[in-house]
């Protein structure tokens, strides 16, 4: 047995504290201390400032050796809105996200269970300023611990319905595009020789990249209000449930990342598609499973006009767990400070 010991990083090293969580298996590394000032009067401005001036921190904490190709992160900022509890933006192996449902669920658990934010109610409301707008989350506690979280997502809507595109190595493929905080191309795997199970993990990544590239070359996306949101974020494959859930959802986003959860923004887009096609109604709850079999539920709370679109407000529910805390150090002499990635 080693005796008591303590090590402190030299004063000239960058030291950033994080708390790690997962939602349905999808990781979230939350940066909570040690960051320089992040300038900006809106969340999108803060995200832009971080991207332009502090991106080495994203690379250092998301890439190896501190992270891995499928690591995901979030930065907590001060609130922008008068009625919000805090602000946040999200990061991954290829840059920054517009919206992240699994992170909203995990962040809500984090701030309440650690008492970063004090709420006395048994099932408190947490208001979060995020890149696509204000997100209202509700935590459900048991013995003072958050057991699950629901959030009302931003207006979600279908953009392109029943489209067809020629995809390299695959052929003609039908798909929909919908927005649930981010834009996704949704593809039913009945058209493909593809299972949505871990054994087909590499094939899922390859197909996701090929489909995303083909759709981006042939279809333009313009968000009604924010240019920073006007891009195709990923591809979501839809398949039959391997249990008794409504269906299975596997999202490929960024540089070949595979979401381990059912994808909060992804199931929001799914709800918008199903509602537009008359397949679900208001207040109808469906349970969607991930590549791991973990689930999120989604329901249409209300209809709403959003720019030129007939949108819905979805409520997404899931479960998160805190799994660790770290103080990561950046030695100025370390040539691999900004990390590396093999994907």
Residues 109 and 161 in one domain: no
With respect to residue 57, please indicate whether it lies within any of the assigned structural domains: yes
Listed in sequence order, the DSSP H helices in 257-305 are: 264-276
With respect to residue 181, please indicate whether it lies within any of the assigned structural domains: yes
**What pLDDT is stored for residue 270 in this prediction?**
97
> Is there a contact between 140 and 147 (Cβ–Cβ < 8 Å)?
yes
Domain span including residue 72 = 14-152+322-330
pLDDT per position as a tens digit, 100-121: 999 999 999 999 999 999 999 9
Q: Rounded mean pLDDT of 286-312?
A: 97
Residues 310 and 210 in one domain: yes
Q: What's the mean per-residue pLDDT of the chain?
A: 96
Name the pairing type of β-strands 86-92 and 125-130. Answer: parallel
Residues 264 and 185 in one domain: yes
Residue owning tokens 């499973």: 289
Q: Which two tokens stand for residue 334?
A: 């370390």
Give the closest residue to 251 by CA, choosing from 271, 264, 236.
236
Q: Rounded mean pLDDT of 67-72?
A: 96
CA 127/CA 246 separation, integer angstroms: 29
In residues, how long is the chain?
Answer: 343
CA 152/CA 90 separation, integer angstroms: 18
> Is there a contact between 135 and 152 (Cβ–Cβ < 8 Å)?
yes
Q: Among 10-14, 101-105, 327-331, which stretch is predicted with the lowest mean pLDDT?
A: 10-14
Residues 47 and 85 in one domain: yes
Dihedral angle at the C-alpha atoms of 69, 87, 85, 261, nearest 10 degrees?
Answer: -30
**What pLDDT is stored for residue 276 in this prediction?**
96
With respect to residue 270, please indicate whether it lies within any of the assigned structural domains: yes
Give the list of residues 6+ apart from residue 339 with CB closer than 8 angstroms, or none: 59, 60, 61, 62, 63, 64, 65, 66, 67
pLDDT per position as a tens digit, 274-296: 999 999 999 999 999 999 999 99
Residues 198 and 294 in one domain: yes
Whether the per-residue pLDDT at 61 is higher than 80: the answer is yes
With respect to residue 203, please indicate whether it lies within any of the assigned structural domains: yes
Residues 101 and 250 in one domain: no
Active site residues: 100
With respect to residue 285, please indicate whether it lies within any of the assigned structural domains: yes
CA 108/CA 128 separation, integer angstroms: 9
With respect to residue 3, please indicate whether it lies within any of the assigned structural domains: no
CA 143/CA 115 separation, integer angstroms: 14
With respect to residue 342, please indicate whether it lies within any of the assigned structural domains: no
Give the closest residue to 178 by CA, choosing from 84, 89, 298.
298
pLDDT per position as a tens digit, 200-227: 999 999 999 999 999 999 999 999 998 8
How far is Cα of residue 60 from the mean position of the Cα atoms in its chain?
19
Residues 76 and 107 in one domain: yes
**What pLDDT is stored for residue 1 in this prediction?**
62
Give the closest residue to 158 by CA, choosing from 274, 251, 285, 289.
274
Residues 59 and 203 in one domain: no
With respect to residue 281, please indicate whether it lies within any of the assigned structural domains: yes
Whether the per-residue pLDDT at 162 is higher than 70: the answer is yes
User: Residue 268: which CATH number?
Assistant: 3.10.310.10
**Percentage of residues in the chain having pLDDT higher than 70:** 100
Domains identified in the chain, total number = 2
Q: Rounded mean pLDDT of 38-47?
A: 96
Residues 161 and 266 in one domain: yes
pLDDT band with cut points at 50, 70 and 90 for residue 157: very high
């Amino acid at each position: 047995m080693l005796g008591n010991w303590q090590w402190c990083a030299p004063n000239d090293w960058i030291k950033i504290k994080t708390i790690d969580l997962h939602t349905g298996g999808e990781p979230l590394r939350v940066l909570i201390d040690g960051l320089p000032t992040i300038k900006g009067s809106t969340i999108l401005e803060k995200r832009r400032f971080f991207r332009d001036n502090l991106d080495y921190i994203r690379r250092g904490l998301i890439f190896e050796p501190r992270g891995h190709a499928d690591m995901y992160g979030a930065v907590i900022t001060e609130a922008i809105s008068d009625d919000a509890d805090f602000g946040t933006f999200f990061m991954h192996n290829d840059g920054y996200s517009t919206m992240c449902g699994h992170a909203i669920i995990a962040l809500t658990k984090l701030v309440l269970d650690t008492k970063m934010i004090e709420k006395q109610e048994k099932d408190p409301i947490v208001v979060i300023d995020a890149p696509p707008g204000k997100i209202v989350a509700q935590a459900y506690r048991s013995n003072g611990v958050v057991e699950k979280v629901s959030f009302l997502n931003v207006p979600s809507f279908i953009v392109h319905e029943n489209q067809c595109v020629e995809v390299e190595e695959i052929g003609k493929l039908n798909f929909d595009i919908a927005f649930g905080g981010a834009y996704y191309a949704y593809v039913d795997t009945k058209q493909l020789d593809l299972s949505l199970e871990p054994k087909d993990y590499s094939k899922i990544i390859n197909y996701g990249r090929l489909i995303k590239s083909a759709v981006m070359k042939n279809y333009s996306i313009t968000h009604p209000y924010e240019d920073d949101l006007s891009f195709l974020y990923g591809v979501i494959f839809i398949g039959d449930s391997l249990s008794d859930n409504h269906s299975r959802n596997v999202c490929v986003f960024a540089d070949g990342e595979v979401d381990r959860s059912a994808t909060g923004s992804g199931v929001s887009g799914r709800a918008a598609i199903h509602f537009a096609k008359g397949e679900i109604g208001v207040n109808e709850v469906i349970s969607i499973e991930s590549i791991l079999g973990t689930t999120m539920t989604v329901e249409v709370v209300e209809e709403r006009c959003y720019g030129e679109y007939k949108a819905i407000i979805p409520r997404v529910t899931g479960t998160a767990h805190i799994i660790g805390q770290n103080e990561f150090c950046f030695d100025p002499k370390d040539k691999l400070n900004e990390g590396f990635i093999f994907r």
